[in-house]
Amino acid sequence: MTAAASPALLDALRAAVGPHNLLVDGDLAAWELDWRKRYRGKALAVVRPGSTAEVAAVVRACAAHGASLVPQGGNTGLVGGSVPDQSGTQVLLSLQRLNRIREIDPANLTMTVDAGCVLQSVQEAAAAQGLLFPLSLAAEGSCTIGGNLATNAGGTQVLRYGNARELCLGLEVVTAAGEVWDGLSGLRKDNTGYDLRDLFIGSEGTLGIITAATLKLYPQPAGRVTALAALASLEDAVALLQLAQARLGSGLTGFEVMGEFALQLVATHFPQLPRPLGASPWTVLLEQSDTESEAHARGLFEGMLETALERELISDAVIAESIEQSRALWHLRESIPLAQAEEGLNIKHDISVPVSRIPAFVAQADALIAERFPGARLVNFGHLGDGNLHYNVQAPAGAGAADFLREHEATVNTVVYDAVVAYGGSISAEHGIGALKREELGRRKSPVALELMRSIKRALDPEMRLNPGRTILA
C-alpha cells in the first residue's frame, strides 16, 4: 500500500470533513468522469469539505501523507483539468458544499460568495437585489464560481464586461501548505505589491485552491434588445461589429457568429427550435443593453441595422419582440454544442485571433482542412466580438466519428494551431489548458514564459501536489 493510500490518510481526511463526506466506495463516476467523457480517472477518495477551514485541513492531511489533490467545482470543464488520473492515488477535492452567498453590498456593487456556488445561483442572488452579475455560460446551471475563476471563464458577454478575471475583486485561497490567504477585498484600487488575485485566477487549481471570491456587480439594464442578422461573409461580420460598436458603444453586450453548418446541425437534431432567418453563410446574434429604456435601446438598434442593410453588410435581420423571443434566439446559439454532441465526437478548438484577422484565419484554416481531410465538416461559431472562435472539426458524413478523432486529432490540431499562431492568436481562449492542451502549450509557448510559469509553480507548490499533470509540463 502506498503512502497516499494509507489508512492513516483516510482517517485524517475523515476527521477533517466527517465520515459522510469522505467517499471511497461505490460509484464515483460523477467525480471521476469529465464533462466530455474523454477522461476517466480513479480517485483514492472523494472529499467534500463544507468550509474553508475543512479545505485547509484536507490539504494539510494530504501534504502530511504525500498525497496529491485534484480540486473540482461543477466538473463542467472541457480540457480534462478537474478529474483524477488513473493511478488511484489522488484525492478528489469537491468544493460543491461550499455554496454560501456570504454577503451582497449594493452600495459597493459587490458580492462575496463561496467557490462552490453555482453560477446561476449567483446570477439569481444578484438579480434579487436588482443587480447584475454578467458572467454567462451555457453550463451556468451547473458550473461553479471557483471553477469559473480557476479557468478564467469567458462566455457570451466578455465584449462588454470582460472575462471572469475582470469580474473578480478579491479571493480567498488555501495554499499548498494548507494556509488560508484572505484576499477578499471589495476594493477597486489596491496598489500594494504583487497582485496575488490574478496569479490564482486561470491557474486551474495548480497554485492554490480558491474557496471564495468577491465579485463585481452592475446595475440591471433598463432595456435589452436581441437580434439575428444574416451575412454573406466573415468580412461583413467584422464590418458589422465595427458599425455596432460605433453606434451602440458599451451597450453592445453580445456579438456571436454562427456558420451555416453549425445551424444546420441544430436544425437536424433540434427541429422543434424556430429558425426565423433562412439559410445564409453566416449568421450573427447581437444583443444590446441600455441604461435608459427599452424604447431607447430599440431605436438605436433599429437605426444601426438599417444602416447595415443600406451598406449591404447584412441581407436580412429579425429583432426579438419579447423576452421569450430573445431567449429563443439565444437558444439557437447555445444549442450548437449540444447538436454537435448528437452528431458524434468531434475535434474541438477554443481559439482566439485578433478580430481583424479572423476572416483570413478562417479562410486559410478551412482550405487546409479541406485539402488534408476531404469531406471533414467545419462547425465554426463563437464570440466574434472578442475574437474567440470555437473552430471544431467533425468527421465526414458517414465516417466513424470516434475513428476520425483517434486517427486525425493530432494532425488536425497541428494544422489549426499553426494557423492560429501565424495570425497572432492563442490556442486557448476561455477553456484553459488542463490535461488536453498541456503538451501543446509546451510547444507553443516561449521557453521564457514556460520557465517563469514553472518557477511560480515551484515556489507556491514545491511538492507538486496541487492538480499535478495539468497546465504546465514539470
Name residues whose C-beta falls within 8 Å of residue 458's C-beta, 6 or more positions apart in sequence.
Answer: none
User: 416 near 367, Cβ under 8 Å?
Assistant: no
Place of cell 479541406: 370
One-letter amino acid of 120: Q
Name residues whose C-beta falls within 8 Å of residue 153's C-beta, 6 or more positions apart in sequence.
Answer: 135, 137, 143, 147, 163, 164, 430
User: 255 near 159, Cβ under 8 Å?
Assistant: yes
User: 287 near 244, Cβ under 8 Å?
Assistant: no
* pLDDT tens digit sequence for 162-194: 999 999 999 999 999 999 999 999 999 999 999
DSSP state of 249: G
User: 445 near 426, Cβ under 8 Å?
Assistant: no
CA distance 365 to 357: 12
User: 316 near 229, Cβ under 8 Å?
Assistant: yes
CA distance 33 to 27: 11
* pLDDT tens digit sequence for 47-60: 999 999 999 999 99
- Cα–Cα distances (Å) from 132 to 123, 149, 302, 341, 420, in that order, read 7, 18, 25, 31, 34
Q: What's the confidence (pLDDT) of residue 5?
A: 56
What is the set of domains in the chain, with CATH numbers? Answer: 3-94 (3.30.43.10), 101-219 (3.30.465.10), 223-337 (3.30.70.2190), 344-422 (3.30.70.2740)
Provide the terminal-to-terminal Cα distance of the chain, rounded to the nearest Å. Answer: 26
List, for the chain, all residue ranges whose pLDDT scores fall below the cut of 50.
1-4
C-alpha angle 139/140/146, rounded to 5°? 100
Q: What's the confidence (pLDDT) of residue 474?
A: 64
User: How many angstroms from the chain centroid is the CA of residue 105?
Assistant: 26
CA distance 461 to 178: 11
